[in-house]
Amino acid sequence: GESVGLHLPTLSVQEGDNSIINCAYSNSASDYFIWYKQESGKGPQFIIDIRSNMDKRQGQRVTVLLNKTVKHLSLQIAATQPGDSAVYFCAETNTGNQFYFGTGTSLTVIP
C-alpha cells in the first residue's frame, strides 16, 4: 500500500500564533491532496484540498503548500484559535481512487 505520514504526532501552540502541520507522502502518482480536521468523537471534516498542478492554495485562515519535488505537504493555520484544537490528517489519492490517510497530528491550542 501507499504511505502517507506526518512528521510530528503532537503540536502545541499559543492562541493567536500560526500553526504549521507537515505531511510526507510516497506516491508520486498522487494528483490530489486533502487536509481533514477531526474532533473527538466526530468524523473527519474537510478543510482544504489541492491538486498536484498547484503549489499553494489559500482558504479562510488556512493555506496548503505542496512540494512535489520532496513529496511534502503542509497546512498553515493563521491566528490559531482554541476551536482549532483537533487531530489533523492529510490524505492523498490518484484520480479519486484509493484514498490514503496519514497517521494524524494532534494540535493543542493553549489559551
Q: Which residues lie near another protein (CB under 8 A)?
A: 1, 4, 32, 34, 41-46, 49, 89, 91, 93, 96-104
- Rounded to a whole number of angstroms, the minimum distance from the CB of residue 56 to another protein is 16
Nearer to another protein, 18 or 58 (CB): 58
Residue with cell 512540494: 67
SS (H, E, C) 33-60: EEEEEECCCCCCEEEEEEECCCCEEECC
Nearer to another protein, 14 or 103 (CB): 103
- Rounded to a whole number of angstroms, the minimum distance from the CB of residue 34 to another protein is 7
Terminal-to-terminal C-alpha distance of the chain: 40
